[in-house]
Structures are given as C-alpha cells and as structure tokens.
C-alpha cells in the first residue's frame, strides 16, 4: 500500500503533475486492477491542489474515476453526490468533465435520478 502523504508531497513538490508522475500514479493505483474510494479521494486531492496538470493526468484521472464509479455498473445517489462535488470543485464544468459524464452515462447499466439531474445540469 502506498504512503499517500509522501506520494502527494513528492508529486506536488513543484505544483505540476507531469507525464512521468502520471506513470508513477498508474503503477501505484492500478497495481491491484481496482480503483477504490481511497485512491479516488487521493486523485481528487491531487487534482484540487496542483497548480497545473498534464493532459496525461487528466486522462488518467477520469479513467480511474470511471473505473471506480462503474465498478458495479450503477451510478447511485451517493456516487452522483461525490461526482457533483468533484466536478464543481472549481466552480465550472469544463469539456473534459462533460466528456467524462457522457462516458459514464453511456457505460452505466443504470443511473439514479440524482445522476440524471447532475448530467442535465452540466450539459446545459
């Protein structure tokens, strides 16, 4: 198990999450083939605290989040609430977040009314 505090300090030392650091993150987070909630929380914390992130991080961030959310094929109310907090953390909904929500909707077997409301709000 990774030392998340040390990994966070190392990655954010220069404020930038670059492609090489993404490879390190992938190795740690995907080691067991599952993205658990602790790992999602770690990635969200990194994203919210970085001054800038590489395109590789953006891609991996949403890939990992999708693996976690769609693990059971259902997006329930609690997951929709967590998604809302993640997406609106910076007060805006960007194109990457919209693409991510579309992928979630397309990949889910079932979605809650809370997710549908979030999706509709973000796609306006």
**How many residues are present in the chain?**
124
Segments making up each domain of the chain, as ranges: 1-54, 70-124
Q: What is the pLDDT of residue 1?
A: 53
pLDDT at 99 over 60: yes
Q: What is the pLDDT of residue 95?
A: 96
The verdict on pTM exceeding 0.85 is yes
On average, the pLDDT of the chain sits at 95
Mean pLDDT of 81-102: 95
> pLDDT (tens digit, 9 = 90+) per residue, 35-49?
999 999 999 999 999
Residues 6+ apart with CB under 8 A from 84: 118
């Amino acid at each position: 198990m990774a030392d998340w505090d040390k990994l966070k300090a190392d990655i954010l030392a220069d404020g930038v999450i670059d492609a090489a650091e993404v490879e390190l993150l992938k190795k740690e987070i995907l080691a067991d083939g599952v993205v658990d909630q602790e790992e999602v929380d770690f990635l969200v914390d990194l994203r919210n605290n970085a001054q800038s992130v590489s395109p590789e991080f953006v891609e991996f961030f949403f890939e990992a989040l999708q693996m976690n959310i769609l693990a059971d094929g259902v997006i329930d109310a609690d997951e929709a609430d967590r998604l809302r907090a993640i997406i609106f953390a910076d007060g805006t909904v960007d194109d990457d977040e919209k693409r991510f929500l579309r992928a979630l909707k397309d990949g889910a077997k079932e979605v809650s009314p809370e997710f549908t409301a979030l999706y509709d709000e973000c796609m306006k």
